[in-house]
Structure 1
């Protein structure tokens, strides 16, 4: 049931309901049925869909070639606290009308940053108290919080990786305040995205010191949060570049190595973003699989890039085929560990109606729901799993199982190969696997 404050910002738009694929109502789900059980869990439980505060409520469509094109009714107040409360009212009206259960924020998405750290902290405390009331009234939860340690000019050379200790300390204070807010709001997780934790040129960069400092910083943040009773998971969100030339959290594999190197593996997992995966020249499903293999598949930022544009376009997901491959990874790995699916996506610059925000999220939710249904059907009803098992059947034989168990030496491999002769060529059947997936879409 929609939670509407003193003002209704999305007038004329009611609760978004599931009506099925035959419905011609654009303001209805065609595939996302939150109560439908798939592979032992409801869709609501599989996805834990979340609204991203920044894109949904703060992004007005500006780009390097022109100012914003969108005027939001919750951004008209002159007093920053009142404007922040209006934004919170709009947020919870939107989330509850969508039927989502979660939201995510950066600290200064909630309220504009003030001219001093102390004033900023006071503003955030006021908003936290207000958001507590909204959460209690609606049942909506905080999936994760984070600090924006990349937009302010002070972070032009990085935050935890900054060559100036005073900036590192300021970032630490900002993260403390964001952690306090997350804990106060019963946030389930906390994210670190190193928006400028990287370098533009190695000529003026001490890479080892910078990476070591990030490791120290994250251990400090983790220890502080645990001391305050925070039980949630910390996430690192990989991204290869943009705005920096090379970021230290380049991709899933790099981030996992960082987590292990600095002793964070008991507390940290990954938040995988689709568009960040493609910027790293990987597929989304590859990054999910790398994280899952390490036991670190924590959460997802759902969006997509543009095949012709080499930057982070943050469009809403709409490719069922690619998302179905990702859902295969999700189902086979046991699902997300602590996180959910946050729509870190924005409507296009020329999509200026408030209803466009709803249409975009409806399409994103339906894409993931349809992909989940496809992946479940492929696993349960098709020959896919049998084919995959057959492809690796040689490791179930006596020698193959001994190899897996670590019972063979290199000399044993030599003797086996010498006695066996030339191995026969076995097709990978890639096209068959692709056809099976297509058959269920």
Structure 2
């Protein structure tokens, strides 16, 4: 299988001259009002009226709660892919290319020249600075276009990295994580690390090597691995054991190169929580029947942890980047929580969801060096620049409010006291011996016989779930700041 389609090669050749002509770095001064003219730097205004949406009512970055600032607890990062690159697809296989072409941005001209990428990055850093975040997340292919060869692709990336470094130094903003994009190019339609073609795996390895070098140069706190298409469409033509071993080998190679490179960032592994239909990408000359079933190897947190532990990858410092909710709880329970993927294709979280998330984060002890990766796709009729600002301001503010509520209910110890009482039976007698590993099945039998003599003691105590859900709801609805 060709690594590049004829159409892609021709398109790249047509722009080759333009790319070379634009090889001189553009001025990287981040002008306060270059692209977001007229919009102020977003500030904390707890007394703002309900229709003042260009401010934070709950997020006060420097305010200390539970020994850390809100900025340190949330570690909010803006997804460059969702906020900036998805709107300027130009047919290159980015997310939502058929839906979001109606968004017109002054920094986009509809080309894939290096100058176009630089304008988009200048706009992004102006945006990050205005809403007051210190982190961003980015895939390698969102920084520069692919060339006809690996050498040309890496040359494009090297030029852009120098450009980004100056932007970061001027704004004091750095990546929460950098990742290799295995979802856009047609070469990976049948998997990157689990492909049946060795030369495809070699391309994935080369891309991982360069992406990690980028992460080190940009000072990324983490390096994210997301095998978007690692799976199979039919078990009849698949050697699953070989594919899983190859998958693990490439991750071990990545960890090994991290050590040789001297990169100190956290390795993150992100499962593919969505089904194939919702994450499949429009790729040029990629004809695939979306109605066919596609099975993923790492479809949730538990399957991902099983994979990492089976191949001893957890010992190579891999942690899980997870979705909120049950997936986050499982990652934390197994001691594998590394970061949270808060990207959404619909709307910001409900306050209940945000509070549960931040409660889990606080109880876990924080996410450092991970954080909250926030990515939103605007509604089709939200075409103004203000809509982009308000969307991210509102989302960060919801997580900030959720954090304040979570901090309050944790400080009150109401739920902690209930948990202690509910599991009190494990503090003495048979329960204590069971927890400490001192009990046997014979002792379980003896205990069960004693219970048969007293039928009342066999009755289960109510967990009072309805009561505690109601208490939690009242916290969400009634806490005032």
Output the TM-score relative to the length of structure 1: 0.91
User: Deviation at 1:154?
Assistant: 0.8
- Does 1:428 find its partner at 2:463? yes
Of the candidates 312, 323, 332, which is equivalent to residue 292 of structure 1? Answer: 332
Match in the other structure for 1:307 = none
Instruction: Give the Å deviation of 1:77.
Output: 7.5
Q: Which residue of 2 aligns with 1:393?
A: 424
Look up the SS of the partner of 2:141 in the other structure.
Answer: helix
Relative distance call for 1:232 and 1:25 in structure 2 (3 A) is same
Q: Is the contact made by 2:87 and 2:97 (CA closer than 8 Å) also made in structure 1?
A: no
Report the CA distance between 1:316 and its aligned residue: 3.9
Q: CA deviation at 1:317?
A: 2.2
Structure 1 residue 337: Cα displacement: 4.2
Return the match for 2:41 from 4, 15, 18. 15
Q: 1:63: how far off?
A: 4.4
- Taking the aligned partners of 1:411 and 1:79, their CA distance within structure 2 comes to 70
1:79-158 equivalences under 5 Å are 80-158=113-191
Select between 106-115 and 3-12 the one with higher mean Cα deviation.
Answer: 3-12
| Structure 2 unmatched ranges of 5 or more | 1-28, 89-94, 281-292, 477-481
Match of 1:324 among 333, 343, 355: 355
1:182 aligned residue (198, 205, 215) = 215
Q: Which has the larger radius of gyration?
A: 2
| Equivalent position of 2:57 in the other structure | 30
In the alignment, which of 228, 253, 277 is matched to residue 195 of structure 1? Answer: 228
Q: Which runs of 5+ in 1 are unaligned?
A: 274-283, 305-313
SS in structure 2 opposite 1:440?
Answer: helix
> Residue by residue, what CA displacement relative to the aligned partner does 1:47-84 show, whole Å, maximum 9, x if unpaired?
11111111111112884865611122222285712112
Counterpart Cα distance in 2 of 1:132 and 1:74: 20
Tell me the matched-pair count.
Answer: 420
> How many Å separate the matches in 2 of 1:384 and 1:66?
44
Offset of 1:204 from its aligned partner? 2.2
Of 72, 76, 88, the residue aligned with 2:105 is 72
Cα distance change, pair 439–22 in 1 and its aligned pair in 2 (3 A): farther
> Any idea what SS the aligned residue of 2:382 has?
coil
Mapping 1:297-312, distance limit 5 Å: 297-304=337-344
Residues 13-22 or 141-150, more deviating: 13-22
Tell me the residue number matched to 1:364. 395
Q: Distance in 1 between matches of 2:98 and 2:32?
A: 37
Instruction: Indicate how the Cα distance of structure 1 residues 440 and 17 shifts in structure 2: closer, same or farther if over 3 A, else same.
Output: same
Cα distance in 2 for partners of 1:170, 1:383 equals 53
Residue 74 of structure 1 aligns to a residue in which SS?
A: coil
Q: Which moved more, 1:155-164 or 1:346-355?
A: 346-355
Q: How far apart in 2 are the matches of 1:211 and 1:337?
A: 30
1:118 is paired with a residue of what secondary structure?
A: helix
Counterparts of 2:99 and 2:245 in 1: how far apart (Å)?
39
CA distance in 2, matches of 1:166, 1:6: 46
Which residue of the partner structure matches residue 374 of structure 1? 405
- Classify the secondary structure of the residue corresponding to 2:262: coil
Matches of 2:32 and 2:409, distance apart in 1 = 48
In 2, the alpha carbon distance for the partners of 1:21 and 1:301 equals 30
Among 417, 432, 435, the residue aligned to 1:404: 435
Describe the SS at the equivalent of 2:325.
helix
Residues 260, 155 of structure 1: alpha-carbon distance in 2 compared, 3 angstrom cutoff: same
Looking at structure 1, the residues matched to 413 and 270 of structure 2 have their Cα atoms a distance apart, in angstroms, of 34
Name the residue aligned to 2:448: 417
User: Residue 406 and residue 130 in structure 1: after superposition, are their counterparts in 2 closer, same or farther (change >3 A)?
Assistant: same
Q: Which SS does the other structure have where 1:230 is aligned? A: coil
Q: CA deviation at 1:143?
A: 0.9
Maintained 8 Å contact 1:150/1:158? no
Secondary structure at the counterpart of residue 182 of structure 2? coil
Contact (CA 8 Å) 1:142, 1:188: kept in 2 or not? yes
Is 1:272 the counterpart of 2:344? The answer is: no
SS at match of 2:178: strand
